[in-house]
Amino acid sequence: MSVAHMSSPIEIILILATTFYQAIAILIENRQSPPGKLIDVGGYRLRLYTAGHSRPTVVLEHSLGGIEGYLLVEEIAKLTRVCIYDRAGYGWSDNSPHPRTSRQIVAELDFLLTIAGIEPPYILVGNSFGSYNVRLYAHYFPDKVLGIVLTDGLHETGMLKMSIYLQALKLFFVSGFFMSILASILGIIRLLNVIGTFEIIKRELIKFPPAVLNPIKRSFCRPKHWITMIRELLNLDKSSRQLHLTRQFRGLPIVSIKANTFFHPSLWTILLPMKAANHLREQMHKQIINLSTDCVQINAEKSGHFVWIDQPELIINAIQIILNKLDGADN
């Protein structure tokens, strides 16, 4: 075996050091009580956090792999009560033994809200993949939902007809998530977090205070986060088929926020099939606008897909639009 294929003692020591650092960091974190509550939903616990007062209650449903609601919760709480929860496998929540499909996620969410005593009605906010979950929730529990906000949402018709280039992109993401499992076990992702890599990749994160970002980074440093991302992504077609069976929402107030592009052009995205991705987005938003006879579209001109980072104020505005519609209906 050549020297090039042998790990040097220094490399082995570095790997052992980062792995040990990861183990110690997790032990310290696990001794800290999470904000909010851990609620048993049938042999595993989901974390729920509430803020604000008054009704209706805004319920945040994250994107695939995201727990971005932390960026929004305090601002939404100035308008009305807001609930944020970590889907099973993310944040402080336990893993779920059940498939990571929208139908299962919706069942867990409703059970969580019921057990926690968070009474309806709700305004549901769904980011990206979370748009599937809030739409399916509104389909199963129409009497509990007063309005929906979709942030660069998905639509099942387009997702089930993705081009071969985008199917390949999905497999590329899955392979990256598998690598991230190993990187998180070895403490490499935690080390990257310490040196500020997240902010280098997504510069807009700098505008958020550390107290808001830390719960998000905490989740990304753990293997279960990446495992859950793989489980949700591999079940995405199944979730799409579940949505395919749902109905239109008649006059339910919906605000759909449409990003300007999927990813902003950068060194990180230069090899991605951006033209195909944006074409798919255009087709999906044409379907989304027809979900209800009362569907309003907001164009996020300065945003990529991650509107909650690029222009979070638009999500606050969208919630206010729903609240204004409800106030007008009551008068």
Q: Where are the domains of the chain?
A: 6-330
pLDDT computed for residue 203 by the predictor: 87
Report d(CA 40, CA 159) in Å as an integer: 33
Cβ 298 vs Cβ 257: under 8 Å = yes
| pLDDT, average across residues 17-31 | 93
Q: In what order do the strands lie in the sheet with 295-300?
A: 37-40, 45-51, 82-85, 57-61, 122-127, 145-151, 254-259, 295-300
* Burial group, residue 250, by CB count within 10 angstroms (0-12, 13-18, 19+): exposed
Lowest mean pLDDT among 45-49, 194-198, 320-324: 194-198
Sequence-distant (≥ 6) Cβ neighbours of residue 268 within 8 angstroms: 201
- Position 126 confidence tier, pLDDT thresholds 50, 70, 90: very high
Report d(CA 17, CA 165) in Å as an integer: 39
pLDDT computed for residue 3 by the predictor: 43
* Burial group, residue 178, by CB count within 10 angstroms (0-12, 13-18, 19+): middle
What's the whole-model pTM score? 0.92
| pLDDT, average across residues 281-298 | 95
pLDDT of residue 91 exceeding 90, the answer is: yes
- Which one, of 150, 124, 152, lies nearest residue 307 by Cα? 152
Per-residue pLDDT tens digits for 140-178: 999 999 999 999 999 999 999 988 888 888 898 899 999
Q: ∠ CA(147), CA(148), CA(150), 5° rounding?
A: 165
Q: Amino acid letter at 268? A: W
Residue 120's Cα: distance from chain center in Å? 22
Q: 50 has which bridge partners?
A: 83
Cβ 151 vs Cβ 308: under 8 Å = yes
Per-residue pLDDT tens digits for 298-315: 999 999 899 999 999 999
Domain 6-330 classification at class level: alpha beta
pLDDT of residue 42 exceeding 80, the answer is: yes
Cβ 82 vs Cβ 54: under 8 Å = no
pLDDT computed for residue 267 by the predictor: 63
Sequence-distant (≥ 6) Cβ neighbours of residue 288 within 8 angstroms: 131, 150, 153, 155, 256, 295, 297
296-322 as b/e: b if 16+ CB within 10 A: bebebeebbbbbbbbbbebbbebbebb
Per-residue pLDDT tens digits for 231-243: 999 999 999 999 9
pLDDT computed for residue 266 by the predictor: 67
